[in-house]
Structure 1
Amino acid sequence: NKIVPQLTAFLRRELHNDAVTVVFAVSTERREKKRVFSPREIFRNMVETNEAFRQLAIELQLELN
């Protein structure tokens, strides 16, 4: 890759440190597609993971139908 030597030289010069190296790790692991959550799923997750939000939902009498 042509940019690695340029990036390394820039970092060494700007950081005043000749010991700086640049290493890239490329993952071959496939990522899951990002999922779009419905408002219902978002609300349910917030109630389950955030005690303050759960208390607020109770006080405001919010519920899932």
Structure 2
Amino acid sequence: MKKLKRKLKITNPQLLELIRFLRKKAAEHKAEIWRDIAERLAVSRRRRIAVNVSRINRYTEKG
């Protein structure tokens, strides 16, 4: 069963190009991580996951 493609309503040309690039690389390398990232970027701003930069900073090493 083939999924229907969603029409993106993204007005930022750089973001749109990045999403297309990530989807292409995901298909080429069969890497689901890039497809997942592309889908998360394609989500509307209201539904995007918030990133806690402070927590990332706390658990990463300096350098």
Q: Which has the larger radius of gyration?
A: 1
